[in-house]
Chain A
Amino acid sequence: GAVVSQHPSWVICKSGTSVKIECRSLDFQATTMFWYRQFPKQSLMLMATSNEGSKATYEQGVEKDKFLINHASLTLSTLTVTSAHPEDSSFYICSARETYNEQFFGPGTRLTVL
């Protein structure tokens, strides 16, 4: 299957700082990318859907000003957690797909906000 990478795999930051997470499709062009958040021992919750070149669509309850998503190219989407707080500590997983094709998941990024 296709490969999706995330960087960094883990990050620790101080409260109030911003953190950027990258999601890349390595061997295909991802017209759509998805961002999920997973708290310990819980399921994945879809945060937002982004299509290349357009604004992301956020799920209800997800603050778009706090979780900035940019999908500037067909192989890269970024999620920036702005003014992070301890409650933002979570496992963030991206996925990517070509048009109408299977969705592939990245390995996840563990964010810890102190």
Chain B
Amino acid sequence: SQQGEEDPQALSIQEGENATMNCSYKTSINNLQWYRQNSGRGLVHLILIRSNEREKHSGRLRVTLDTSKKSSSLLITASRAADTASYFCATGLGDMRFGAGTRLTVKP
């Protein structure tokens, strides 16, 4: 079964704008991960945030985690057309459970 929901399901922005995606989960976690998937391709690991962390940065990516609200957000700054993909959050290190995903389209 899926762990939670991503919000929004789809997002369309212009190049250079920031994109924010949210993820909610249902159970207690030790960590949460964000992945990117280009259409018809495998998953690319973006970032892992542990349950005792509130914010983490990696390049143009910023992830926040609010364990009290069971939610996380992924911010992509200064978006590029190449960022067009689906983005998923996932919980668990073992049998990983994925959210529904956000389809991001960045228009050049």
CB distance A43 to B96 under 8 Å? no
Taken together as a complex, chains A and B put the C-alpha atoms of A36 and B95 apart, in Å, by 10
Per DSSP, chain B at the interface is loop
Q: Considering only CB atoms and an 8 Å cut-off, how many residues of chain A contact the other chain?
A: 26
Are B42 and A43 touching (Cβ within 8 A)?
A: no
Chain B contacts of A105 at CB under 8 A? 35, 42-43, 45
Q: Which segment of B11-19, B49-57, B66-74, B99-107 sits at the interface? A: B99-107
Interface residues of A (CB under 8 A from B): 1, 32, 34, 36, 41-46, 49, 59-60, 91, 93, 95, 97, 100, 102-108, 110
Which B residues fall within an 8 A CB radius of A?
1-2, 35, 40-43, 45, 48, 88, 93-101, 103
